[in-house]
Amino acid sequence: MELKRVVVTGLGALTPIGNTVPEFWDNLIKGVSGAAPITKFDASKFKTRFACEVKGFNAEDFMERKEARKVDPFVHYAIAVTDEAIADASLAFDKLNTNRIGVIWGSGIGGLKTFLDEVSNFAKGDGTPRFNPFFIPKMILDIAPGHISMRHGLRGPNFSTVSACASSTHALIDSLNYIRTGFADVIITGGSEAIINEAGIGGFNAMHALSTRNDDPQTASRPFDKDRDGFVAGEGGGAIVLESLEHAQARGAKIYAELVGGGMSADAYHITASHPEGLGARLAMTNALTDARLKNEDIDYINVHGTSTPVGDPSEITAILELFGQHAYALNISSTKSMTGHLLGAAGAVESIASILAVQNDIVPPTINHFTDDPNLDPKLNFTFNKAQKRGVYAAMSNTFGFGGHNATVIFKKFEA
């Protein structure tokens, strides 16, 4: 089978550093931190009292108040970013075959706020079951693509992917394969997450996964820094419109970049820790390069998983060094989580947008909050510390790794007709 080429024609972002793609990209290049004290609940008794929250977002800007109350915040975010991506791609659904337009969406946890509220209300009661009739459909992960499809009348492939922090990267890979094998013309893909609540912060605190740098939240996310002490929780979403090249050209769509490959693997090692030798990460990147039919030397930039954890950061760097060898020193490496925090299941989508825009604009966003070199990391590597760097970016790789040992990598390159 001859595979169809797949291109990016629309983007949408809602992040802790910008509620639209232009705002997000501008602040990313400026090196702005989205971290601040938590406002969504009283966190005064928690070990971590800060996060990267979405700011100034109102769900009623995107739907009626009555409808907004029927869905969880992770769906609010999904609708907002897909509305932006659809408009950006100039998709006129009344002129397209909507039977061949799908939605594949990733989320690591889904409606956690809904679950927390409903169970808390029950626990406070007299034991009489009084649950909101929308409890289950608000909570389940697959309701996000369901709402998006109903909103726009899209009848193509429709489902969710869940693989913790790799969820939306897996959604991108599934979307790529559905289009290039001819089962869809267009897929709206990405992910959203809304875990900044008592259960989300409390649960990650109990695992000792979060930074506790409460005295200085804006510098708490420190990927590859000697004094990193855990990730910073983030929220929001990202949407990407993918379509076959022939379909995009037939309707005169603008093209940001080409999605040329995806790779997946498992660590088969530990429920939360990455493999110390980076075996799964290396395999995912290797598989992505093979799928893309690219050489190591074709990659100019890697948007790394880089969560700012003591174990995870060096294992990914070990994988990069073993795979790329000498070319590793010609790469730009950066973790945009230093600015956005960790968006969990939405991380892959948001970081793919950063990678796409790096390819389009020949600018690599920085890894901010670097103060002290880690003696265990090779100082000759270019981590793009503290300041964006201009360089030619022919192809960019984006890595995401999730609890359970799930690894996923995608590669975008400049579009060439």
Who contacts 110 (Cβ-Cβ below 8 Å, separation ≥6)? 72, 74, 139, 140, 141, 143, 144, 162
Rounded to whole angstroms, the Cα distance separating 252 from 101 reads 17
Rounded to whole angstroms, the Cα distance separating 254 from 243 reads 11
What 8-state DSSP symbol labels residue 13? E
Rounded to whole angstroms, the Cα distance separating 337 from 210 reads 13
The tokens 């110390």 sit on which residue?
A: 276
Catalytically active residues are 165
CA dihedral 72, 109, 229, 376 (to 10 degrees): -140
Amino acid at 197: N
> What counts of helices (H) and strands (E) characterise the chain?
13, 14
Residue 78 CB neighbour total at 10 angstroms? 34
Encoded tokens for 71: 């869905």
